[in-house]
Amino acid sequence: ININVELQDGSRVTLEAPTDMGLSVMEVMKANELNVPAICGGMAICATCHVEVLQSGELPEPSDDEAYMLETLPHATATSRLSCQLKVKPELDGLVVRLMPEA
């Protein structure tokens, strides 16, 4: 599937993301050498993988851990997510996310 990422400078890149490897959106961004610290390695406790979802189909609801972390973020918006908690699935094709200041 394709995932589109708006970078901190406003430019957009399109990434190819395999759906059969159990990867998260964060892992796909890192694999493409985008600047995503993801310090906690996908445990939903650092928020350095914070993205704002600009366009998507149906997304799974955030877990309690993810929702709690998002509430603490100064730059969070109504569509903020932790990209490490978004698993790459066919429904995510065409997803557009923006990297947020924490990332």
| Site of interaction with ligand FES (CB under 6 A) | 26, 38-40, 42-49, 82, 84
CB nearer to ligand FES: pick between 16 and 51: 51
Question: Closest CB to ligand FES among 21 and 43?
Answer: 43
CA 81, 83, 88, 89: dihedral to nearest 10 degrees? 0
Q: Report, in Å, the least distance between residue 25 CB and ligand FES.
A: 10
Counted residue by residue, the chain has a size of 103
Q: Which one, 5 or 82, has the nearer CB to ligand FES?
A: 82
**Shortest separation between residue 19's beta carbon and ligand FES, angstroms:** 20
In the bound state, the residue with its beta carbon closest to ligand FES is 84
**Minimal distance, residue 101 CB to ligand FES, in Å:** 14
We find the least distance from the C-beta atom of residue 70 to ligand FES, in angstroms, to be 10
Cβ proximity of 23 and 17 under 8 Å:
yes
